[in-house]
Structure 1
Amino acid sequence: MVAIEELLPNGRYDEARGNRQSACTGCYTVTGNHIDYVDDLGFIATGDIRDGVPFHEHRVHYREGDERARQ
């Protein structure tokens, strides 16, 4: 299953999973190279930003159109 997460400039995120748009929504904060996520149901996750790329748990989030996403 493909999950597509959009980090919005207002500190919110919207994640689509498979055919489900907005399957998971919540807020995020960035402190230095660390990112914290809290979904609207209260689930908490963390990650790091390395070279401008968010690493969240076992997933890597590339910008749309980034060649590295195809590898």
Structure 2
Amino acid sequence: MTDEQQAAGTVGHPYVGMWVTGDGRIRHELLADGRYVEARGDRERAYTGRYAVSGDHIDYLDDTGFTADGDFVDDVLHHAGMVLRRAAARR
């Protein structure tokens, strides 16, 4: 995934924001600049890297080099056997 592909597919994209598992343990924050931060339990920055969205498909490239992907179905993110929903907006 190139920086150009990453930027073109994510800035202002409707999937930007926080995605959370039902138990709140896994949290993916998809940032508008094409970066992501994944928190796991008390580890706020367990994984970080880049992502690119094409249609309803997301590809991740972690800063350590591993890759992963997922799909958005009816505003639900299915990723690596997990189901993440959009987090409620904080007030």
Interval of TM-score (by shorter of Structure 1 and Structure 2): 0.7 to 0.9
The reply to whether residue 6 of structure 1 matches residue 26 of structure 2 is no
TM-score by length of 2: 0.65
The reply to whether residue 54 of structure 1 matches residue 77 of structure 2 is yes
More strand by share: 1
Instruction: Give the 5 Å matches for 1:1-71.
Output: 2-65=25-88
Unaligned runs of 5+ in 2: 1-22
TM-score by length of 1: 0.82
Unaligned runs of 5+ in 1: 67-71
Alpha-carbon displacement from aligned partner over 1:39-65 (angstroms, at most 9, x marks no partner): 100110011111222211201121112
After the TM superposition, which parts of structure 1 deviate over 2 Å for at least 4 consecutive aligned residues? none
Between 1 and 2, higher relative CO (CA 8 Å, sep ≥ 6) is seen in: 2
Counterpart of 1:69 in structure 2 is none
How large is the RMSD of aligned CA atoms in angstroms? 1.8
Partners in 2 of 1:19 and 1:57 — Cα distance? 20
Identity of aligned residues (%): 50
* Aligned positions, number: 66
